[in-house]
Structure 1
Amino acid sequence: MDHEVEWVEAQKIETSVDLIAAAKQQLLFLAAVDRNRWLYDGPALERAIYRYNACWLPLLAKHSLSEGPLVPPFDCEWIWHCHRLNPVRYKTDCEQFYGRLLDVSGVVSSVNGNCKLETEDLWKRLYPEEPYHLDLDKVVSDKSAALENCTKYDLVSAVKRQSPFYYQVSRSFVSNDVFLQEAVARYKGFLYLIKKNRERSLKRFCVPTYDVDLIWHTHQLHPVAYCNDLEKLIGKVLEHDDTDSDRGKGKKLDTGFSNTTAQWEETFVRRYWKAGAMYRGSTPAPVTTSPYAFDVLAKEPTPEDDLIRVPEVEVVEVLLEIIEVRNIPDGHKGKLSVVFSKTQRDSLFDAERRLTILSEAGEKQVAFFQCEPTGELRFQLVSTSPSKIPVSREPKSLGFASLSLEEFFSPAITQLSVEKWLELIPSKGSRTDPKPISLRVAVSFTPPTRCPSVLHMVQSRPSWKGYCFFPIIRKSRHSKSSTYVVDEAQTEVISLQMSDGATFKGDHTAQRQVIGEMDSGETRVLAEYTGIFWSLLDSKWSLKQTNVDNQFELLGTRVVKIFSGRKLDYEPKHCAKRRSDVDFMTLVEFSKQHPYGKAVALLDLKFGSIEASAEENWLVLPGILSAFILNTLLKKGGSNGFDATTKVAQQESLKSNGLKEESKDTELVATVENKVKANSTNGQTAAAVIAPEKGSGCGGGGCSGECGNMVKAAMASGCGSGCSGECGDMMKATNASGCGSGCSGECGEMMKAANASGCGSGCSGECGEMMKATKASGCGGGCSGECGDMVKAAKASGCGGGCSGQCGDMVKASKASGCGGGCSGECGDMVKASKASGCGGGCSGECGDMVKAA
């Protein structure tokens, strides 16, 4: 109750601004600035600073509210924005040059701009030689334009510090009313901590999370209200120190955030970390430094837009922490932890994960994952016996509890955070103890948003579900076989086939075409090669190769440039997927709203998939066709439909046999020790990147490549000793190594269990896509080819000794060998059961597609 009183007292803090409405206005303005990045650096920035000092501030000082609202020129408003975010310096400068603090009263933002004409007329009368709108074509760096009566504050540096802020708060849910309401409440809690520190004469550097920092910025942008509110609260204007950006361990931001987290949670008994409020990583590198001037107006949807339908799935981000446990039986021995999962199958999160308990482990661990806002989160308290007990003994379950997700999101969002005690239901028997075991669980969510659409191109219909637990993608051995486009649930949405052209009556030779078969059974030509470019959807779109930085261009109702590699929002973050960039292409839309480009889709050429942004439905069909054409033709060295100007490195990456399955992004959960802090410069909170218990992203010494996206459990290493290649995308369990000793190639996409090695000793090729179980080797000794795509069970070898060809795509059971001794051909696509051999000794041909029994 004492802690609740503290929170209630914090919420009594008064501000003279409607912070929610003002925060939304700030987000609109920052988005406009980000579309005009010439304000971030260079001569235009220097000229904007001159105009701000020489024109805008003097005009603002002379203006009377009775004369009507003022609208600052856009460039001046940006400099004014950055100046006000140093509230102490801004106040000092205003009082020095104008005798009073210049406020926003009577000023309307330029992005609203309904009354610019009056201000423009006034500007012209006062400054006839200086245009109201900054003319970028005539901007030159004019060092002689320095003023005597202007601030000595380094506004160039201030702008550079503020420029990255928008990326951190630019996601659509940030403007949600409930998210902002909680942000305002947390901002008041932040001010309350500062007030308590001053009362106790404690000098502490308090570091905000990004939701708090957004509201803090919003408050500072109203200088008179901010100064009055803070002087009333703490007796002075609160400084906003945004000069520190080093998030290294032990640095000012790191220790400041740790101390702020500890003080917050001790004072309020609420979690400081919050979903959607943590550091997103550094701002992605731009694909161009010059805005794209040409704008194509988006057209109304056409019937072709409805040829295929992709399920609409909502997603929320979740931060989860297990705080403490109580009422453990007397005499209990063992290490306690919590296994959590979802009760309802989820296309985004369908696994069990483990977290330590803060009160038991003494160190903070936070789980971050994405899931659909349906069903329940299920928690199981487990006890692991002391080390003297054999390791093989299963952990003991002490009970279960659940937390409904739907109550937070249906019928409408009312809160995005909860911290509560959950009583456990015993694993056996009924609950009779008057003091049941309970868990204190803290969960926060982001408001639901549309999940990106992910579609896979496969070479066989997804009809294997009854045979195994993993969707199998088989390699094509027939040049004219169809490619089936399936969604994440393995539901077919369309099938595509590339025709080589044919001769019809009258000796007319058809051009190369892409034929599509719809869900209805209708067959039609969806794309045709004209000899210069590909015409898509009855000429509504065109796909052509260019000779500039980007490699291809998709033109139609929008302008979409296709860049090699992962760009913008698809740029790898933290320990994210680190496969070679030549496997990827990013589709970037250029428009009036996005002159520097907006990433709208990612093509994975190696594994045959396309991920499209949730709001870009217009791109799904032309994107699929582009992905299919590029995937089919580029791997043939740029011929048959494009000039041979494709990069050699990319061509090499597309020489894989057939289309492989897209590895699912396993970056669902991780845990972070308290050493990895989320901190903020002007609130730049460090990554809620989550590291596992006793695990490491790159394991043993010698891991010089990229570890990829990993979800890791206890005592696991992302890259084993000596792994010099890429470990790919792995989900790993106990005592596992992503790449076994000596694995010099790519281990591919693996899901691995206990005591498994991704590549067996001596495996020098690619192990392909494997799901592996206990004591299994992806490539047996001497396997020098590709093992293909395998799902493997206990004590199985993907390629038997002496197998020099390709084993194909196999589902294997216990004690089975994919290729028997002497099998030099392809074993084909097999489903195999216990003690079976796919190809008997001496089988030199193709065994075909087999389903095998015991």
Structure 2
Amino acid sequence: MDKDQELEWLEAQKIVIGEDLVSAAKRQLDFLAAVDRRRWLYDGPLLDRAIYRYKAFWLPLLAKHTESGVVEQSLVIPLDCEWIWHCHRLNPVQYRRDCEEVYGRILGNQNVESSVQGKSKHQTAEKWAELYPDEPFEIDDSNPSLGKNADMYVEAVESITYDLVSAVKRQSSFYYQVWRASMHKDCFLKAAVARYKGFLHLIRRNQEKSMKCFCVPTYDIDLIWHSHQLHSLSYCNDMVELLGRVLEHDDTDSNRTKGKKLDVGFCETTKQWEDTYGLRYWRAGAMYRGSLPSPLVETPYLSNYYSKNEIISQKSENYLPLPRTMVVEVLLEIVGIRNLPASHQKGSLFVSFSKKRPDLFFTGSCTLSIFSESGEKRVAGFECEPTGELMLTLMSTSTSNVFSSKPAKIIGTTSISLQDLTNPDSNLSIEKWFELKPHSGHVDSKPVCLHVAASSTVPVPAPRTFHMVRSQLFSANTCFFPLPGKTQQIKSWTRFMDDIGNEVISVRMRNYKKTEESNNSIFKREVIGVTKLSTKPRLLAEYAENKWSLNDSNLSFSIDKSTDQHGHILELNGEHQIKLFLGKKLKYEPKNYKERTDRNFITVVEFCAENPYGKAIALCDMKSKSIKVCEEWFVLPGILLAFILADMLKKEGHSSLIACEKNVKERSNSNLEVDKQNSKDKIMNSSQAMDAIMTGTSSSAATPAKSNSCASGCGGAAEKAGGCGSGCGGSCGDALCGENSGGCGGGCSGGCGGGCGSVMKSSGCGGGCGGGCGGGCGSVMKTSGCGGGCGGGCGGGCGSVMKSSGCGGACDNNGLAGDKTSLYGSG
């Protein structure tokens, strides 16, 4: 940021806003969550009734209540009316016009309490009943019919012609985009308010210069903008003071296609922001997440249990004491360079980056070009643990071909402390000039410096992944301690290993017949387990009379082959209402519709009052014999469930789990058109970075959503990363440590070639040339596994068993990062 840019930023921060937007944003998030638990407000007859009630009952009540200008007590608005009011106010020009036309003034939200936070609801309900005796205060979601005397309110309803149904549909996906951990943190929201002021200042500057530019915000800015608009009177006053007019919020355009209004607007806004302030516009945790996952159920599944059993959670955690691993998302951009020695000015420059100590999510290295040198905006997005250092190495090639087989020269190195980056005092971002430590040891009079911008989300607990490893024989050498009994009676133990190869628990199935007093024999099965901390085998699950009971979690399920209308394949009963669905669902849903019916995956979904439409808490991969668990309390139940399912498949095949296949296929076909549209959402080239504009509002940006190509050209992004054809140069491997990454084929000029990815988190590159990875397959866990390549790539066979680069080291650092659209697709 030079002096002029700093002055512009300081000028932007002088903008006066009459509301506490940090608090307002938090209230908005809570309200949107409450509405999302009642999705009947998004469409259908209940939405129509809510709109009617809003026009005929709420607005007249609000107008009457504020008529004198002196309000003695607050009103609490019914939730359905509040949702329609929310969407109406997000078109501030139209809302102002409607209010002034019908009521002669803007109806603001002073002394109006949200239905979520309101404490004096009964007082408002009494006033409501006096005015509208035939209309209940709160809507009955089981009865969409109107009150007895609805005809008398027709005039009030017809006086507002704004299409509120369309407005609601446009806003119904906004919650999915902003419901993230960072959005609830003061440090993130305070920075978002500062960025919102910067956004308004750009609009003011454009207006002063008579420039027409459709400014498109990122999601952190958009959340604050929405929060401001919900205070209608303050928003109008603040905008008139700032711009001389009420700033429109055009949310009617959701087409993110290249060259369209949103795409062009976001491109221009990014460039103008970075030119004006010298700061990066894209922000980790503020970008587009991709399209809304397909719903599992049309109507909410309401559980009889409203909270998790803390005693159960404590039992599971005590039996499996696991260290807590945190994860963050990081966006990294290399903006510029200065004091470059003349000897390196003729070659091509790039920056290789890696963790000083590779962690669970980020292994190997990746590369990025320098914006000031290449002229193209390229941003790397990846996940990593929020500890240690991110190492940056400036490198130079002698030719313009960065994939050349000739080794690159190291100019210097620097590092970014991830603790400093994720510190709340840093506002979760760093942007400054870093002085490089010269590689040769020779110090020039002016050290080489890199202008680096990095931002991160707040640390959150990472999902845990466990892999099943079958032991042929259980003995003192393969378990934690010897067990009494004959060897043939204690065979076939299954060990569950975490991502770094640590054994978590060993379990086995035990069959026996129990004879009761009536001399009837009952066949039973048991699952027993041992851990490093256990002193004897522990009974974890029992099977009898066609029913499995998981002892530590009080969960049970019956082995039947029937499903309900929702298409689940199994249901767990107990303290938690849990259903199992075939394929990847909800947050695990792949963008490619062809993968939606993959029989190898089973999604575990919990239904509760907080998540009546379901929350994915685990994903079983029955092919690779692994399970990913997102909820701490479900670790032990999840491991047992995966083990039992694997045993069922071994004995009976998929028919034991997919009796509902026909129902699942019918449901998938019903979503075919949506799925086909999602399949068009793909990674674009460098000139198409802004295709990832947000849907549902005028405003939003692209995000490093889990794409099929790592931003920095590494072999695969977070979920189901599919490898790459020409961008694996820096290090073949899972920069995002994605599930099932790898499996690259046939690439050249830096691409991955030929071979297959391995079972777990392997890059699995093969057969490449020109700096690519070659030949063989990756091995069992987190290995680069390169083999047989030529021209600077990795050679010679398979990677080793645990977290190995394979071939005696990582792939050559001759790769160039993917461009900005490696992260930012249109879907």
Please indicate, yes or no, whether the TM-score normalized by the shorter chain is above 0.5: yes
Q: Name which of 563, 566, 581 aligns with 1:547.
A: 563
**Larger relative helix fraction:** 2
Structure-2 residue corresponding to 1:370: 383
Q: CA distance change for structure 1 residues 456 and 389 in 2, over 3 Å: closer, same or farther?
A: closer
Q: Which amino acid aligns with 1:301?
A: I
Task: Answer yes or no: is 1:117 the counterpart of 2:131.
Answer: no
**Deviation of 1:354 (Å):** 0.2
**Deviation of 1:66 (Å):** 2.9
In 1, the alpha carbon distance for the partners of 2:473 and 2:280 equals 44
Structure-2 residue corresponding to 1:686: 702
SS of the residue corresponding to residue 151 of structure 1 reads: coil
Q: Name which of 604, 610, 634 aligns with 1:593.
A: 610
Is the 1:314–1:450 contact (alpha carbons within 8 Å) kept by the matching residues of 2?
Answer: yes
Task: Answer yes or no: is 1:633 the counterpart of 2:648.
Answer: yes
Q: CA distance change for structure 1 residues 383 and 562 in 2, over 3 Å: closer, same or farther?
A: same
Task: Answer yes or no: is 1:323 the counterpart of 2:323.
Answer: no
Is the 2:348–2:401 contact (alpha carbons within 8 Å) kept by the matching residues of 1?
Answer: no
- Deviations, residues 479-536 of structure 1 (Å, cap 9, x unaligned): 9411111212211111111123357898966512212112224202211111222111
Structure-2 residue corresponding to 1:68: 73
Q: Which ranges of structure 1 fall in alignment gaps of 5 or more residues? A: 464-476, 651-669, 699-706, 718-726, 778-791, 799-807, 816-854
Q: Which amino acid aligns with 1:631?
A: A
Q: Which amino acid aligns with 1:13?
A: I
Is the 2:784–2:805 contact (alpha carbons within 8 Å) kept by the matching residues of 1?
Answer: no
In 2, the alpha carbon distance for the partners of 1:644 and 1:576 equals 19
Q: Which amino acid aligns with 2:331?
A: L
| Aligned pairs (5 A) from 1:301-700 | 301-302=311-312, 304-305=315-316, 306-332=318-344, 333-386=346-399, 391-409=404-422, 412-430=424-442, 432-460=443-471, 480-501=491-512, 510-519=523-532, 520-537=534-551, 540-545=554-559, 546-548=562-564, 549-573=567-591, 581-613=598-630, 616-637=631-652, 645=659, 647=661, 673-677=686-690, 678-681=692-695, 682=697, 683-688=699-704
In 2, the alpha carbon distance for the partners of 1:373 and 1:528 equals 40
In 2, the alpha carbon distance for the partners of 1:617 and 1:715 equals 36
- Deviations, residues 695-720 of structure 1 (Å, cap 9, x unaligned): 7999xxxxxxxx94146585569xxx
Structure-2 residue corresponding to 1:155: 164
Would you say how many aligned residue pairs link Structure 1 and Structure 2? 733
- Deviations, residues 46-92 of structure 1 (Å, cap 9, x unaligned): 00000000000000000044331001111000000000000000000
Q: CA distance change for structure 1 residues 568 and 745 in 2, over 3 Å: closer, same or farther?
A: same
Structure-1 residue corresponding to 2:200: 191
In 1, the alpha carbon distance for the partners of 2:80 and 2:194 equals 32
- Deviations, residues 640-680 of structure 1 (Å, cap 9, x unaligned): 9x688364999xxxxxxxxxxxxxxxxxxx99735121423
Structure-2 residue corresponding to 1:802: none
In 2, the alpha carbon distance for the partners of 1:538 and 1:694 equals 44
SS of the residue corresponding to residue 490 of structure 1 reads: coil
SS of the residue corresponding to residue 500 of structure 1 reads: strand
SS of the residue corresponding to residue 128 of structure 2 reads: helix
**Deviation of 1:543 (Å):** 2.2
Q: With CA pairs under 8 Å and 6+ residues apart, which has the higher RCO, 1 or 2?
A: 2
Q: CA distance change for structure 1 residues 608 and 576 in 2, over 3 Å: closer, same or farther?
A: farther
Q: CA distance change for structure 1 residues 693 and 371 in 2, over 3 Å: closer, same or farther?
A: closer
Structure-1 residue corresponding to 2:141: 136
Structure-1 residue corresponding to 2:671: none
**Deviation of 1:747 (Å):** 13
Q: CA distance change for structure 1 residues 752 and 696 in 2, over 3 Å: closer, same or farther?
A: closer
**Deviation of 1:737 (Å):** 6.0
- Deviations, residues 220-272 of structure 1 (Å, cap 9, x unaligned): 00000000000000000000000111111111100100000000000000000
Structure-2 residue corresponding to 1:264: 273
Q: CA distance change for structure 1 residues 390 and 117 in 2, over 3 Å: closer, same or farther?
A: closer
Structure-1 residue corresponding to 2:741: 729
Structure-2 residue corresponding to 1:755: 768
Is the 1:322–1:439 contact (alpha carbons within 8 Å) kept by the matching residues of 2?
Answer: yes
SS of the residue corresponding to residue 168 of structure 1 reads: helix
Q: CA distance change for structure 1 residues 146 and 746 in 2, over 3 Å: closer, same or farther?
A: farther
Q: CA distance change for structure 1 residues 504 and 403 in 2, over 3 Å: closer, same or farther?
A: same
Q: CA distance change for structure 1 residues 162 and 423 in 2, over 3 Å: closer, same or farther?
A: same
Q: Which amino acid aligns with 1:31?
A: A
Is the 1:197–1:204 contact (alpha carbons within 8 Å) kept by the matching residues of 2?
Answer: yes
- Deviations, residues 272-292 of structure 1 (Å, cap 9, x unaligned): 000000000011111101111
SS of the residue corresponding to residue 676 of structure 1 reads: helix
Q: CA distance change for structure 1 residues 695 and 450 in 2, over 3 Å: closer, same or farther?
A: closer
**Deviation of 1:345 (Å):** 3.0
Q: CA distance change for structure 1 residues 360 and 461 in 2, over 3 Å: closer, same or farther?
A: farther
Is the 2:753–2:765 contact (alpha carbons within 8 Å) kept by the matching residues of 1?
Answer: no
SS of the residue corresponding to residue 75 of structure 2 reads: coil
- Deviations, residues 723-770 of structure 1 (Å, cap 9, x unaligned): xxxx962176964666749x9999995422672799989x9xx99998
Q: Which amino acid aligns with 1:124?
A: A
In 2, the alpha carbon distance for the partners of 1:276 and 1:644 equals 37
Structure-1 residue corresponding to 2:818: none
**Deviation of 1:349 (Å):** 1.0
In 2, the alpha carbon distance for the partners of 1:749 and 1:289 equals 38
Structure-2 residue corresponding to 1:829: none
Structure-2 residue corresponding to 1:5: 7
Q: Which amino acid aligns with 1:516?
A: G
Q: Which amino acid aligns with 2:613?
A: Y
**Deviation of 1:462 (Å):** 14
In 2, the alpha carbon distance for the partners of 1:714 and 1:521 equals 53
How well do the aligned residues superpose, as a CA RMSD in angstroms? Answer: 3.9
Q: Which amino acid aligns with 2:380?
A: A
Is the 1:739–1:747 contact (alpha carbons within 8 Å) kept by the matching residues of 2?
Answer: no
In 1, the alpha carbon distance for the partners of 2:222 and 2:21 equals 12
Q: CA distance change for structure 1 residues 594 and 73 in 2, over 3 Å: closer, same or farther?
A: same
Q: Which amino acid aligns with 2:583?
A: G
**Deviation of 1:586 (Å):** 1.0
In 2, the alpha carbon distance for the partners of 1:74 and 1:523 equals 53
**Deviation of 1:402 (Å):** 1.0
SS of the residue corresponding to residue 578 of structure 2 reads: strand
Q: Which ranges of structure 2 fall in alignment gaps of 5 or more residues? A: 475-487, 665-682, 730-738, 809-827
In 2, the alpha carbon distance for the partners of 1:709 and 1:643 equals 26
SS of the residue corresponding to residue 381 of structure 1 reads: strand
**Deviation of 1:693 (Å):** 8.7
SS of the residue corresponding to residue 238 of structure 1 reads: coil
Structure-2 residue corresponding to 1:104: 109
